[in-house]
C-alpha cells in the first residue's frame, strides 16, 4: 500500500476488474478502519454501502481502479478512479433502474440499476466524471458529524 | 500460543508467559478454552452441589445431549437417567425448540422488515453483533430462546404440581459450550431468567454413563419427538421453518463475511439466517464429549426416527405467540470495541502511526511478540503497551547494525594492533 501525506490519513487501495473472488474486500477494510476509530454506526453503514457499490461497479465493468481513502476528523472522502469503458450518458446512468448489466451480473444479484443512485443517496457530496474509452472517477464525501 | 492464533477477534496477548484477554473484544466463543494445552482458560461452571439450596432441581439438557450416547439410547431414557444421578426431574428442551420454530415462522409472516432476520440463539453471534456489527442489532429476531422457554414451562408445571414457589425450584441447563453459561450470567438484555445455573455436558457425562449402564428406565413420558431434535446441527432451525429463502451459516469467519455483505446492503431477499459460531453448530460445542461428526450423525438419525411427528399443536403455539409468550422485550445495546482514541483526530493520528509501524514489521504474523498479528502488534506499540523492539525482527535488525559498527571498530583496532606488533 502506497501512502500519501497531505491529509491526516490517507490510504490507497487497488481493485482489479473481474476480480469477483476479492470483491468487497476494499469496502470491508475501510469499514473495519472506521469502526476502529469509533465512528458512528450509521455513518459506517453509509460508507460501506457507497463504497461497496462503487467497488462492484469496478469489478463488473472496469479493468482496474485505485481507491483513495482520505480521513479527516470532519469528513470521509473516497475517490474511485477506474480505467474502463466509461459511461456514455452519465445522467441516464444516475437514474434508478437504468442498468447495462449482463445476464451473468444479474444472476449474481446486481444490475437492478441502483448502483450509482445508491452511492449518491448515501453520500453527502457526490461527483462523477466519466470519459468514454478511458474511465470513470467517483468522488464520495460523507460527513462525520 | 495456540490461543493467540485461534482467537477470531484478536482479543488475546501472551506476554511474560501469561495470556491476557482484552475483554472489550472477547465474544465468548470458547476457542481458547478448547486449544490451550495448559488449560489456562477455565470457564466458571457450576456443579450439582451448588444447587443444594433449592427444594427441587430440574435438569434441562440441551438437545445436543441426546447425541452424546450410543445410537440405541433414546432421549427419554437419557432424561430418566438424569433423575438417577441426582436431579429431581429432567425436562426436554427439543420440544421447546419446536415451539420456538413455530414462533419464528409467525414472526416472519407478520413482520415484513427488517430483512434478513438473524437467529439470536448462539450467544457468541449476539456478542459479535454487539461488538462489530451494531447496525445489525435490529436484525436479531426478538424471540426467546428454547432453553428459557423450557425453563419457564418446567418451573410453571412443577410450581402447580408441588405447590412450590419459583425460587424454590432450581432450573439447570446442561450446556454444550461456555457461551451459554456466560450469556446467562451476563445477559445481553436485562431481564429475568428462569434458569438458575448451567453445567457443562462434559461434567454430567461420566456419572450419566454409569447410570445408563445400570438402568434402562424411561421417565414414563412418551418418547421425545419433533423437529426441535434437529436444532443442534447446521440447518436444523431452517429445516423446521416453512420459510423459503432462509439459510444457515456456521463458523465465525463465514458468519462475518455474510454480516459484511448484509451491512453492504445485500441479501435483503433472504428471510431468515440461522447463525452458529461453531462450524458444526452446537454439536461442535467445546463442552461436548462426542466428536461433532458422530454427534451430527446421531442427530440426523433421531430426526429421521422421531422428528416427523410434531410434539406441539401448531394452533396452540400460534395463540401463545399472539399473547407475546415468545416475545423478547428491550433492545440489545451495542458494545463497541474501545476506539483507537476517544478523540477522533488523535485516533486518526494513531492510525497513521500504526500504519507506519506496521510497514517496518515483517508482516508474517509470527506471534513471537505475543500479539496475534503484525497489525495488532503495531496497534499495541501505538497505544504504548509495548516497545517496537519487542518484535524479534526489529530487535535483530538493530542488533545487526550495532554489530556491524562493532565489527568495523574491532577491524580498525586490530589493524592498528597488528601494525604495532609488526613494527
B181 pLDDT band, cuts 50/70/90, is confident
Residue A2: pLDDT over 70: no
pLDDT over 50 (residue A5): no
Residue the block writes with cell 437467529: B119
Q: Please tell me the distance in Å from B24's CA to the nearest CA on chain A.
A: 12
- For domain A9-143, which architecture applies? 2-Layer Sandwich (3.30)
Chain A environment of B261 (Cβ under 8 Å): 24
pLDDT of residue B213: 87
**Is the pLDDT at B9 greater than 70, yes or no?**
yes
Which residues of A fall within a CB distance of 8 Å from B336? 35, 38, 41
CB pair distance less than 8 Å for A73 and B351: no
Residue B167: its pLDDT value, please? Answer: 95
Q: Which residues of chain B make contact with A45, given a CB cutoff of 8 A?
A: 135, 263
- Cβ-based contacts of A53 with chain B (< 8 Å): 265
Would you state the cell numbers that stand for residue A128, as one nine-digit string?
Answer: 462523477
- CB-based contact A8 B352, cutoff 8 Å: yes
Q: Same CATH topology for B1-42 and B48-322? A: no
Residue B421 scores a pLDDT above 90: no
Give the mutation candidate from A45, A46, A121, A142 for the B interface (greatest B CB count, under 10 A): A45
Classify domain B1-42 at the CATH class level: alpha beta
CA proximity to A81, closest of A95, A64, A98: A64
Residue pLDDT, tens place only, B143-153: 999 999 999 99
Q: Report the pLDDT averaged over residues B244-249.
A: 94
B263 touches chain A (CB under 8 A): yes
Instruction: Please answer yes or no on whether A52 and B351 come within 8 Å at the CB atom.
Output: no
Determine contact, residues B133/B255, Cβ cutoff 8 Å: no
B73-to-A33, B65, B139, B215 alpha-carbon distances in Å: 51, 11, 39, 11
The verdict on a CB contact (< 8 Å) between A45 and B266 is no
Mean pLDDT along residues A137-143: 97
A72-114 tens-digit pLDDT: 999 999 999 999 999 999 999 898 888 888 887 777 777 776 7
- Average pLDDT, integer, range B130-142: 95
Backbone angles phi, psi at A123, to 5 degrees: -100, 155
Question: Is the pLDDT at A143 greater than 80, yes or no?
Answer: yes
- Band (B218; pLDDT cuts 50, 70, 90): low
State the pLDDT at residue A1. 52
Record: contact A24-B260, CB cut-off 8 A: yes
> Which of A8, A30, A40, A70 best probes binding to B when mutated, by most B CB atoms within 10 angstroms?
A8
**Residue B16 DSSP class:** T
Is ipTM > 0.90 here?
no
What distance lies between CA A144 and its chain's CA centroid?
A: 18
Average model confidence (pLDDT) across chain B: 92
Write down the domain spans for chain B: 1-42, 48-322, 339-423
CA distances from B375 to A64, B10, B197, B356, B378 (A): 27, 10, 39, 10, 5
pLDDT at B222: 67
Percent of chain B with pLDDT over 70: 97
For B:114-173, CB contacts with A below 8 A are 132, 134-135
Chain A positions touching chain B (beta carbons under 8 Å): 1, 3, 8-9, 11, 24, 27-28, 31, 33, 35-39, 41-42, 44-45, 48-49, 52-53, 71-73, 109, 118, 144
CATH class of B339-423: mainly alpha
Please give, rounded to a whole number of angstroms, the shortest distance from the CA of B353 to a CA of chain A: 10
pLDDT by residue (tens digit) across B350-407?
A: 999 999 999 999 999 999 999 999 999 999 999 999 999 999 999 988 888 888 888 8
Residue B344 to residue A33, Cβ atoms within 8 A: no
Band the pLDDT of B116: cuts 50, 70, 90.
very high
How far apart (Å, rounded) are the C-alpha atoms in residues B211 and B240? 32
Q: Report CB contact under 8 Å: A8, B261.
A: no
Find the CB nearest B263 among A48, A53, A73: A48
Helix, strand and coil content of chain B, in percent to the nearest 5, comes to 50, 10, 40
Do the Cβ atoms of B266 and A109 come within 8 Å?
yes
Check CB contact of B336 with chain A, cutoff 8 Å. yes
> B48-322 — its CATH code?
3.40.50.1780
Contact B261/A73, CB-based, under 8 Å? Answer: no
Question: What is the pLDDT at residue B257?
Answer: 93
In B350-379, the residues whose Cβ lies within 8 Å of chain A are 351-352, 355
**Residue A135 cell numbers, joined:** 474511465
Predicted structure pTM score: 0.90
- Is residue B24 less than 8 Å (CB to CB) from chain A? no
Average pLDDT score over residue span B268-292: 96
Separation in Å, CA of A96 to nearest CA in chain B: 16
Average pLDDT over residues B24-46: 87
Residue B104 has pLDDT above 60, yes or no: yes
| Helices (H), ranges, B145-188 | 146-162, 178-185
Q: Report the pLDDT averaged over residues A107-123.
A: 83
B10 CA: distance to closest CA in chain A (Å): 13
- pLDDT score of B221: 60
Amino acid at each position: 500500500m502506497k501512502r500519501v501525506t497531505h491529509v491526516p490519513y490517507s490510504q490507497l487501495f487497488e481493485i482489479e476488474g473481474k476480480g469477483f473472488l476479492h470483491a468487497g474486500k476494499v469496502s470491508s477494510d475501510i469499514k473495519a478502519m472506521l469502526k476502529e476509530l469509533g465512528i458512528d454506526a450509521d455513518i459506517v453503514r453509509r460508507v460501506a454501502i457507497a463504497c461497496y457499490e462503487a467497488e462492484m461497479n469496478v469489478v463488473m465493468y472496469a479493468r482496474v481502479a485505485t481507491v483513495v481513502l482520505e480521513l479527516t476528523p470532519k469528513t470521509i472522502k473516497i475517490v474511485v478512479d477506474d480505467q474502463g469503458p466509461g459511461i456514455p450518458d452519465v445522467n441516464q446512468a444516475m437514474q434508478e433502474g437504468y442498468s447495462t448489466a449482463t445476464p451473468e451480473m444479474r444472476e449474481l444479484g446486481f444490475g437492478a440499476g441502483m448502483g450509482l443512485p445508491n452511492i449518491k443517496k448515501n453520500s453527502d457530496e457526490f461527483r462523477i466524471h466519466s470519459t468514454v474509452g478511458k474511465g470513470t472517477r467517483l468522488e464520495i464525501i460523507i460527513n462525520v458529524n | 500460543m495456540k490461543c493467540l492464533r485461534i482467537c477470531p477477534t484478536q482479543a488475546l496477548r501472551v506476554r511474560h508467559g501469561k495470556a491476557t484477554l482484552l475483554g472489550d473484544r472477547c465474544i465468548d466463543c470458547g476457542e481458547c478454552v478448547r486449544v490451550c494445552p495448559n488449560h489456562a482458560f477455565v470457564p466458571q461452571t457450576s456443579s450439582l452441589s451448588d444447587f443444594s439450596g433449592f427444594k427441587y432441581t430440574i435438569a434441562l439438557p440441551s438437545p445436543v445431549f441426546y447425541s452424546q450416547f450410543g445410537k440405541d439410547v433414546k432421549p427419554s431414557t437419557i432424561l430418566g437417567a438424569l433423575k438417577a444421578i441426582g436431579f429431581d426431574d429432567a425436562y426436554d428442551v427439543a420440544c421447546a425448540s419446536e415451539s420456538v420454530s413455530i414462533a419464528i415462522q409467525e414472526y416472519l409472516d407478520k413482520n415484513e422488515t427488517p430483512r434478513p432476520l438473524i437467529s439470536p440463539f448462539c450467544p457468541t453471534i449476539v456478542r459479535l453483533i454487539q461488538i462489530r456489527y451494531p447496525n445489525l442489532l435490529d436484525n436479531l429476531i426478538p424471540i426467546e430462546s428454547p432453553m428459557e422457554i423450557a425453563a419457564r414451562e418446567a418451573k410453571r408445571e412443577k410450581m402447580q404440581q408441588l405447590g412450590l414457589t419459583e425460587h424454590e425450584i432450581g432450573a439447570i441447563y446442561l450446556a454444550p459450550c461456555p457461551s451459554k453459561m456466560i450469556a446467562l450470567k451476563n445477559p445481553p438484555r436485562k431481564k429475568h431468567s428462569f434458569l438458575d445455573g448451567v453445567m457443562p455436558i462434559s461434567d454430567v457425562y461420566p456419572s450419566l454413563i454409569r447410570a445408563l449402564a445400570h438402568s434402562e428406565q424411561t421417565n414414563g413420558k412418551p418418547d421425545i419427538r419433533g423437529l426441535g431434535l434437529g436444532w443442534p446441527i447446521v440447518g436444523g432451525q431452517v429445516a423446521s421453518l416453512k420459510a423459503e429463502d432462509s439459510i444457515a451459516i456456521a463458523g465465525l469467519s463465514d458468519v462475518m463475511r455474510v454480516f459484511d455483505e448484509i451491512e453492504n446492503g445485500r441479501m435483503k431477499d433472504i428471510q431468515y439466517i440461522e447463525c452458529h459460531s461453531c462450524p458444526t453448530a452446537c454439536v461442535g460445542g467445546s463442552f461436548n464429549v462426542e466428536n461433532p461428526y458422530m454427534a451430527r450423525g446421531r442427530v440426523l438419525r433421531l430426526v429421521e426416527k422421531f422428528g416427523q411427528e410434531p410434539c406441539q399443536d401448531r394452533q396452540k403455539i400460534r395463540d401463545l405467540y399472539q399473547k407475546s409468550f415468545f416475545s423478547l422485550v428491550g433492545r440489545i445495546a451495542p458494545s463497541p470495541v474501545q476506539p483507537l482514541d476517544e478523540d477522533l483526530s488523535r485516533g486518526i493520528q494513531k492510525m497513521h502511526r500504526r500504519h507506519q509501524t506496521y510497514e517496518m514489521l515483517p508482516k508474517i504474523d509470527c506471534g513471537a511478540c505475543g500479539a496475534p498479528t503484525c497489525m495488532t502488534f503495531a496497534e499495541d506499540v501505538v497505544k504504548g503497551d509495548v516497545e517496537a523492539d519487542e518484535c524479534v525482527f526489529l530487535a535483530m535488525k538493530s542488533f545487526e547494525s550495532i554489530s556491524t559498527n562493532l565489527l568495523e571498530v574491532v577491524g580498525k583496532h586490530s589493524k592498528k594492533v597488528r601494525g604495532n606488533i609488526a613494527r
